Structure 1
Amino acid sequence: MPMHDCNLKRILVIVQRSNGDVFLSSPLIEVLFRTFGRPGIDLLVNSDTLAIAGTLPHIQQIHLFSYSTEGKGRGSQTADLLKRIFRRYDLSINLTASDRSVLFALLSGRRAISAVEPDRKKSWWKRLFLSAHYEFDASRHIIENNTTALDLLGIGSGKPTVSSCHSPQADERVRQMLEGAGIGEFLIVHPGAQYNYKVYPERLRNTLFERLNSFGIPIVVTGGKSLLDLEIKGTLPKLENVHDFIGRTSMDELIALSDRSLAYIGADTLNMHIAASQNKRIFAIFGPTIPGMWSPWCNELHTGTRLNRPVQTYGNITIFQADMPCVSCGRAGCDDRHGVSECLYQIDPVLITNEIDHWLTTFR
């Protein structure tokens, strides 16, 4: 389906998954924008990812779908969305394989490309009606999956890099916040995550903070206003060099804050991917999450990692995992029901801070 010579004026990119999926669609969007001569690119995302979607460059309009129990039902929303997007686009690209997202792609674009399930019993009709398709491959990095459509378009995915952007206004607000707190150079610690099973346990977390505090460099703790973030906020130790910024920044300001930092320390979450896109030094604590798909992307090496190791470093990125035979399992906690992740209890904060200290004293 070579289309790189086509005159595509309007493109819809559909990403109906999490914040990280939306943010890591940016390499695809960047190449589409550059290759097709600044076309109008719109997004269709879930409503709970609007904040990060709004920071992506080259986007003209964002269509929203909500899985919330409030407001319109899913059927009514689907009908309303289809009225707005029906045949409005020269090309639609869907990065998820769900039935609804494929339907949006088929009905919005004159040509439609989508990820599909490997199981042909589920995806036969998608393969039949789509202009082109690719199997979503859970063994590949999410960025490699997201840029596969470029190969189908005859462009080639090349060596993807991830970038992020923020407004000058956000940067100025962050500058004032840091100046008001007397903070110059600093490290970011992001202890929260979207789900509790990814969060480093409180006892180990507090030991981590105490050891980081002894380095004498300001530690800025970031987080949103979710119940989980606010719960973590209530457990932060009162330490001289630890500054609580949880709940104080918008998404735009969070990106600006990350851009001013020296390094990121924390969970495998959106903030980790943002920091990696800024080529910051990353110290990421991985529980059950599979690195092969979700490891921080190293722009210098154009890759993540597929390995499971207690400590591994590639480029500017270091990942910590438990030394357990079940790691990484990809489950939502050991019970796969958002329960406890035992592996996170087996990652020693001393090991983490030793790596950070070595970097601070040797390479910084």
Structure 2
Amino acid sequence: MTNFSTLQPKKVLFIATRQIGDVLVTTPLISKARELWPDAEFHFLGYKGKLDMLKGNPDIAQIIETSDRPRFREYLSLFNQLFQRYDLAFVTQPSDRAYLYGLVAAFRRVGVLGGHPQGKQSKTEKQNAWKKLISMHTVDVDYFSQHVITEKLRLLEVFFRNPDDLFSKPIDITPPIGEALTPVIASELTQPYVVIHPGPLTAYKRWPLAHWQHLITHLVHRGFQVVLSASPAKQDLQLNHDILSLLETNIRQKVIDTAGKLSIPQAGSLLRGATLYIGVDTSITHLSAACNTPTIALFGATPPTNFGPWPNGFIGKQPYQLRARTQTVGNVTILQGPGECVPCRKAGCLDRADSNSECLDLLEPAQVIEAVEKALGQQ
């Protein structure tokens, strides 16, 4: 591996053209790059509506937004805005489009190379060949053994005389700065509260409705208000509605539904004030961990070794085990259901987005309540 430790770029572009969680997990890379190049100017390119995780980030001088499906005129405008303006580009996703943006924007590039978790390596190698050719350094995705934070940080390997120095100090995720909650929501928070985020991006990461009902009832009986969080997406609004419909009236009165009512910075403020957070494998769970809130994450098909919420301050490359019914590192507890196939990294048992995951169906409320009581006992 060639060493470029003497390189001192003046302008650097970070590219993350995916979801809001993928943007958040680039922040340790950005922070570490700032330590390396304190005087460089950092810009960030991502999709419209996905960049609120960077609000108030002290290291980013400019945010550049693009559509996830740009038309020709937008491509042309973006080309003119980016063309060779940067000394270095970090391509943090393995997509062809992200690499093309990097090629247009910068004289030098480093990037993440995708693989296929279920095989088909020869096809992947062909797709990666041109990306390697245009990059000074690449890092291969490892869906089971390498944490996504480590993956991003390794893009800096070639700029350190000793690459191990990357992981010798505490590693933190930088959450967005907070925004005040709306007066209506703020006025409803009258006692210690637990935030629950039941809605993932895809159905196979869901936990059964009856399990949420059981858990919320327990939390209310323990003296907590419960705040239900959700994105404005139709399926998430419906999911919260369905959970609320199962609750008895006296329990429902202690539940605040904020579905679709909070910006990402407002969600950060809500999480910072929470006694505890419980959620599925989704971006808000990562945000909770980044806000240093005690966080319980329910994982099914996804390997925690790849995408478990990073416990702030962890030193090293891998916080988690691949398989453990319960594991706690720092402020994060990850729970997995039973089964020798867990985690499979498929899209549920039917390997499609609308599938269920038996491992989550069989993750009993009693296991979650045990983790809740342990987390509360440590406060």
TM-score (norm 1): 0.90
* Residue number in structure 2 paired with 1:345: 361
Do 2:172 and 2:314's aligned partners in 1 also have CA atoms closer than 8 Å? Answer: no
Structure 2: how far apart are the matches of 1:209 and 1:44? 39
**1:60 Cα shift?**
2.4
Q: 2:232 aligned with 1:225, yes or no?
A: yes
What is the CA deviation profile of residues 243-291 of structure 1, one whole-angstrom value per residue up to 9, with x for unaligned ones?
2222221111011111111221111111111111122211111121111
Alignment of 1:1-364 (within 5 A): 1-54=2-55, 56-68=57-69, 72-73=70-71, 76-117=73-114, 119-138=124-143, 139-154=145-160, 156=163, 157-158=166-167, 159=169, 160-167=171-178, 170-171=179-180, 173=181, 176-177=183-184, 179-235=186-242, 236=244, 237=247, 238=249, 239=251, 240-302=253-315, 303-338=318-353, 339-360=355-376, 362-364=377-379
Structure 2: how far apart are the matches of 1:21 and 1:315? 21
Distance 1:117 1:340, change over 3 A: closer
Structure 2: how far apart are the matches of 1:330 and 1:117? 15
**1:5 Cα shift?**
4.1
Amino acid at match of 1:229: D
**1:55 Cα shift?**
5.2
**1:184 Cα shift?**
3.6
Structure 2: how far apart are the matches of 1:359 and 1:134? 36
Q: Secondary structure at the match of 2:284?
A: helix
Amino acid at match of 2:311: C
Structure 2: how far apart are the matches of 1:230 and 1:265? 18
Aligned residues: 355
Structure 2: how far apart are the matches of 1:251 and 1:53? 10
**1:52 Cα shift?**
2.6
Higher relative contact order (CA 8 A, sep 6+): 2
Structure 2: how far apart are the matches of 1:179 and 1:120? 52
Deviates more, 1:347-356 or 1:305-314: 305-314
**1:177 Cα shift?**
4.7
Structure 2: how far apart are the matches of 1:18 and 1:38? 29
Q: Percent identity?
A: 27
Amino acid at match of 1:143: I
Do 1:289 and 1:330's aligned partners in 2 also have CA atoms closer than 8 Å? Answer: yes
Do 2:42 and 2:59's aligned partners in 1 also have CA atoms closer than 8 Å? Answer: yes
Amino acid at match of 1:265: I
Structure 2: how far apart are the matches of 1:57 and 1:290? 31
What is the CA deviation profile of residues 124-164 of structure 1, one whole-angstrom value per residue up to 9, with x for unaligned ones?
22222222222222230000001111112227422422121
Structure 2: how far apart are the matches of 1:275 and 1:9? 33
Do 1:189 and 1:221's aligned partners in 2 also have CA atoms closer than 8 Å? Answer: yes
Distance 1:163 1:49, change over 3 A: same
**1:11 Cα shift?**
0.7
TM-score (norm 2): 0.87
Do 1:21 and 1:142's aligned partners in 2 also have CA atoms closer than 8 Å? Answer: no
Deviates more, 1:58-67 or 1:340-349: 58-67
Structure 2: how far apart are the matches of 1:64 and 1:259? 28
Q: Specify every segment of 5 or more residues in structure 2 that has no aligned partner in the other structure, as ranges.
A: 116-123
**1:76 Cα shift?**
4.9
Indicate the RMSD between aligned Cα atoms, in angstroms. 2.1
Q: Secondary structure at the match of 2:38?
A: coil
Do 2:336 and 2:363's aligned partners in 1 also have CA atoms closer than 8 Å? Answer: yes
What is the CA deviation profile of residues 203-243 of structure 1, one whole-angstrom value per residue up to 9, with x for unaligned ones?
21111111121111122111121112210221213424322
**1:179 Cα shift?**
4.5
Do 2:198 and 2:240's aligned partners in 1 also have CA atoms closer than 8 Å? Answer: no
